[in-house]
Amino acid sequence: MKLDNILDFIDENKATCTRLFVAVVVISVGVLGYGIGVIDQASYSTNSLFESSPAKVQKVLGDRVAPFYVNPFDEVDIKQVAFPVAQLKSCRNWEECRILCSKPANFQACSAWSKSVE
């Protein structure tokens, strides 16, 4: 019974229903296109961010590693270290080695040393 009423309404108001259907389709396509555009712009922004970063932050174990460098003396168990550490300019204690490894020029040597004690 309800379906018959709906079909009768559509038959009586064919032009209005057609316009309504077209409007819904146009709005849906617009929203979909907008969503795709937003996703594309976000992807473009992310890619341009990576491309605009210096290709070689430092020559530290490859490209773009320096931002992710962790000073081994911020995490190492002091009981595992035999001072002085010959590989690290013979630093004599934890504080001296931590300061040495916080300087970008020493990142590579400190990373290599930390891998040797793991």
How far from the centroid of its chain's Cα atoms is residue 24's Cα? 37
Question: How many whole angstroms separate alpha carbon 33 and alpha carbon 91?
Answer: 61
Write the pLDDT tens digit of every residue in 15-30. 888 898 999 999 999 8
Question: How many whole angstroms separate alpha carbon 72 and alpha carbon 66?
Answer: 13
Q: What is the pLDDT of residue 78?
A: 78
CA-to-CA dists, residue 45 to 15, 41, 42, 55, 57, angstroms? 45, 6, 5, 17, 20
Write the pLDDT tens digit of every residue in 28-82. 998 988 888 888 888 777 767 666 665 544 444 444 445 677 888 888 787 888 8
Question: How many whole angstroms separate alpha carbon 77 and alpha carbon 80?
Answer: 6
Helix (H, G, I), strand (E, B) or coil at 89: coil
Is-contact 81 56, C-beta < 8 A? no
Indicate the pTM of the whole model: 0.43
Question: How many whole angstroms separate alpha carbon 81 and alpha carbon 90?
Answer: 12
Write the pLDDT tens digit of every residue in 76-103. 787 888 889 999 999 999 899 999 998 8
Tokens 């709906």, residue located: 6
